[in-house]
Amino acid sequence: GQQLNQSPQSMFIQEGEDVSMNCTSSSIFNTWLWYKQDPGEGPVLLIALYKAGELTSNGRLTAQFGITRKDSFLNISASIPSDVGIYFCAGGIYNQGGKLIFGQGTELSVKP
Partner 1 sequence: SAVISQKPSRDICQRGTSLTIQCQVDSQVTMMFWYRQQPGQSLTLIATANQGSEATYESGFVIDKFPISRPNLTFSTLTVSNMSPEDSSIYLCSVVLNEQFFGPGTRLTVL
Is the Cβ–Cβ distance between 108 and 7 less than 8 Å?
no
Q: How many residues bind partner 1 (CB under 8 A)?
A: 21
Which amino acid type is present at position 94? Y
From the centroid of its chain, how far is CA 24?
11
Among 33, 49, 61, 63, binds partner 1 (CB under 8 A): 33
Binding of residue 88 to partner 1 (CB under 8 A): yes
Among 7, 13, 48, 77, binds partner 1 (CB under 8 A): 48
- Calpha distance 87→43 (Å, rounded): 9
Binding of residue 105 to partner 1 (CB under 8 A): yes
Is the Cβ–Cβ distance between 100 and 48 less than 8 Å?
no
Among 11, 100, 108, 110, binds partner 1 (CB under 8 A): 100
Cα separation values, 102 from 5, 28, 32, 61, 82, Å: 9, 14, 10, 19, 23
Binding of residue 66 to partner 1 (CB under 8 A): no
**Which stretch in 12-20, 56-64, 66-74, 86-94 sits in contact with partner 1 by CB under 8 A?**
86-94
Instruction: Give the footprint of partner 1 on this chain (CB under 8 A).
Output: 1, 33, 35, 40-45, 48, 88, 90, 92, 97-100, 102-105
